[in-house]
Amino acid sequence: MEVILIQDVDNLGGVNELVKVKNGYARNYLIPRKLAVEASQSNVKRLEERMKQLKKKEDKMLAEISNVIAKLNEAPLRITAKTGTSGKIFGSVTSLQISRAILDQKGYTVDRKKINISDEVKEIGSYKAHIDFGNGHSADVDFEVIGE
């Protein structure tokens, strides 16, 4: 029997996947627990339509990610921090500060958990941060720390 999975099922497949299973497994386990539906003609057509919509949504998201990456690479971000007389920063620059700078200066919201700073930023100067957007898309962002 062929079924369309509604949820991920271990050792069987992922969401929206058409799989072939034994009749008893489908009728007694997958369908009653709402993990799958029978692969009738109407359900297969719905699956195809859903996959088309997901593809359109993914293409739109990839175009938006490309725009964000291009905007981030235009000019370095400027982050102000309190400094002592020797040029050392009180504390350090965090991913939260970079996220806020991207929102203020570029107009895009980036989750701070996706930002990775390779070095500890404790002095005035130029640095790089890595942003992972998911699905293999990432960008290196230059930022400049300026003393107040």
pLDDT tens-place string over residues 34-43:
999 999 999 9
**Residues 53 and 97 occupy one common structural domain:** no
Most confident of 20-24, 79-83, 98-102: 20-24
Calpha distance 39→60 (Å, rounded): 29
Q: Residue 89 gets which letter from DSSP? A: B
pLDDT of 135 above 80:
no
Calpha distance 138→35 (Å, rounded): 34
- Domain ranges, residue 116: 69-147
Residue ending a domain, among 63, 98, 115, is 63
Residue ending a domain, among 63, 83, 109, is 63
The amino acid sitting at 119 is D
Q: How many domains does the chain have?
A: 2
Calpha distance 99→104 (Å, rounded): 9
